Amino acid sequence: MAAVRRKVMEVLEGSTVSPPPIWLMRQAGRYLPEYRRTRAAAGSFLDLCYSPDLATEVTLQPIRRYAFDAAILFSDILVIPDGLKRNVHFVEGSGPRMDPIDEDAIMALAPEGVLGHLAPVMQAVRQIRAELPAETTLLGFCGAPWTVATYMIAGHGTPDQAPARLFGYRHPKAFAHLLAVLADLSADYLVAQIDAGADAVQIFDSWAGVLGEAEFEAYAVAPVARIIRSVKARRPQAKVIAFAKGAGLQLATYRQKTGADMIGLDWSVPLSFAKDLQKDGPVQGNLDPMRVVSGGKALDEGIDAILEALGQGPLVFNLGHGITPAADPDHVTQLVDRVRGMHR
């Protein structure tokens, strides 16, 4: 019997696949009416994340609609602080909230029991893998320590992460300890997802772009490198995608310094620079999500520019960040058809 071909995994191995495989960050989300119905039935957002049956359902919804080449586990980057008993909750219309953490609370963090708390997530991974088409890659994920820490310090999201940046300057030892705890827990969490059936994993550093050069090295590079070293030491065949949104020129050495197999690119990365980054290995991205909201000519032109610049090398086609609730599902169909060459 022939081996199952999973195109995203081929790209992660360094192969060029034409047309490139596609998945979209936040592809299971509020732009889909079926997601909104499931979300309404779930109760709270965390109830949705911790229900294996419901998390499986919303993970599979965009695969049924669009036959993407990868599904990504439906969960949230803040399940680790939730496991650390930081009172994580979500306020409709204004996002996540938790108890802000201080020096004393950081030093008192108790990582024991966090993986047990996340057992329903691993059950969802097992169920998703069992129900996915054999050729569809299953991606697990976690939040990068810096991005997770920004929420833990402030207790909520902020525009420029000033609370976490200031905390790092004022309390460097405590902040380094927090990043180390998060890195080690994240590595354990990713290994557990791989063991449950994830084919590869992605690390989301959504707030990497607010950091200066020295802080990027200390807060964004070093903890992600620590995660990847730990994962690969235990699971040598594991493949890891690292996405440092807004990192700009600092992406030039990000792959090499972190050990990531593929790097995700946000929409602000010039395609000429992306092409240079692709010489060192696979890239993922980087369509502006607003082009999906727009649809029409703007969407086609954005897709074509990426395919022209990056399609002759190892590429996973994706957005430069998550799809937004304002996106029309029909525009996603337009995107998939355009990338796959059906309407050219």
Q: Are 131 and 56 in contact (CB under 8 A)?
A: yes
Cα angle value 124/120/153 (rounded, 5°): 110
Residue type present at position 198:
A
Q: Are 144 and 245 in contact (CB under 8 A)?
A: no
**Measured distance CA(264)–CA(23) in Å, rounded:** 12
**Measured distance CA(148)–CA(142) in Å, rounded:** 9
Q: Are 205 and 146 in contact (CB under 8 A)?
A: yes
Strand 95-97 versus strand 89-91 pairing type: antiparallel
- Residue 29 CA from chain centroid, whole number: 14
As beta bridge partners, residue 22 has 317
Element (H, E) at 115: helix 114-117
* The token pair that represents 126 in the structure block: 């097992």
Active site residues: 26, 30, 39, 76, 151
Sequence-separated (6 or more) residues with CB below 8 Å from residue 92: none
